[in-house]
Amino acid sequence: MTKTMIFAHRGANREAAENTRSAFDRALEYPIDGMETDVQLSRDEVAVLWHDRLLGKVGFPGKHIDDFDHAQLQAMNFAAHFSSGAKPEGIMSLKEFLDAYRKRCRLVIEIKNRDWESPSRHEIKVRQTLVMAGAVNGDAIMVSSFNLASLVYAHQCAPEFPLVYNFEADQTVKDAEQVLAAQPFLHGLCLPIATLDDAMVWLLRDHGKCIAVYTCNSDAEINKALELGVDILISDVPQKALVIRSEFENRNNHR
């Protein structure tokens, strides 16, 4: 990778409802390098795009994404929480997302496997994602998760697929050393920008791993990621990140 790539976090989520076609299309109006999205599972085991488990944002307080079948989720308005005047949009499936965008930019697909869901559903989500992503094409599509066991399972299913482990804010360089020693198959780590430092960068570079950071929104956060030379910068404001990256590159070119 020759420069830090800018990825839109759940699409251009400050300009349209996150993880909707409108947000992804809006993001691609900018010269971004990629997009990040989140995969959940409907009650009838369809992989869909939604970050939270709860559906309070779309008018169903106390209800969960897995309380409803895919057809029911499609009938809901997942854009209503963003703006009352937004065009109604049902939930987007992972298949629809991949069909629409895999040829237009790089993708990071985060599998949202958490303790509230059974391991069997975790595995279904992993298998569906890998099958739909298809044959490995470099790192054009990467799969990430905060659930390390899910990534181990994904590696068993598709040994060549690029898999990225998402770190929590309390995980340290020592944790990274242990993870990379135990799971050398990992393509890289995705880290909170607040915890990224020189020691973490040196460790990951020494292991030849990809460095991604989330979620870089302020000028200081974006500049920190650029100065530390990360591979992937995930942002809610990709248009700002692109401007700052251009300014950063111009400064370096004139040194």
Q: Are strands 141-145 and 106-111 parallel, antiparallel or unpaired?
A: parallel
Cα separation of 177 and 179, whole Å? 6
Is residue 1's pLDDT more than 70?
no
**Residue at 43 is within a domain:** yes
Looking up tokens 């991949």 gives 98
pLDDT of residue 177: 98
Helices marked H in the chain: 21-27, 70-75, 94-101, 119-133, 148-157, 173-182, 198-206, 219-227, 238-253
Query: What would the mean pLDDT of 188-195 be, rounded to a whole number?
Result: 98
Looking up tokens 């340290």 gives 172
pLDDT of residue 85: 82
pLDDT of residue 253: 83
For residue 40, give the H/E element and its range. Answer: strand 34-41
Residue-wise pLDDT tens digits, 22-42 = 999 999 999 999 999 999 999
Q: Which of 168-172, 196-200, 250-254 comes out lowest in average pLDDT?
A: 250-254
| Burial annotation 209-234 (CB, 10 A radius, 16+ → b, else e) | bbbbbbebbeeebbbbbbebebbbbb
**Residue at 166 is within a domain:** yes
pLDDT of residue 64: 96
Q: Which residues constitute the domain of residue 145?
A: 5-53+94-253
CATH number, position 128: 3.20.20.190
Cα separation of 121 and 208, whole Å? 32
**Residue at 68 is within a domain:** no
pLDDT of residue 254: 75
**Residue at 78 is within a domain:** no
pLDDT of residue 2: 64
Quick one: what percent of the chain has pLDDT higher than 90? 92
Residue-wise pLDDT tens digits, 108-130 = 999 999 999 999 999 999 999 99
Question: Is the whole-model pTM more than 0.75?
Answer: yes
**Residue at 74 is within a domain:** no
Number of residues in the chain: 255
Terminal CA-CA length for the chain: 21
The 10 Å Cβ neighbour count of residue 15 is 18
Residue-wise pLDDT tens digits, 54-75 = 999 999 999 999 999 999 999 9
**Residue at 63 is within a domain:** no
**Residue at 127 is within a domain:** yes
Number of domains present in the structure of the chain: 1
pLDDT of residue 84: 77
The 10 Å Cβ neighbour count of residue 6 is 28
**Residue at 163 is within a domain:** yes
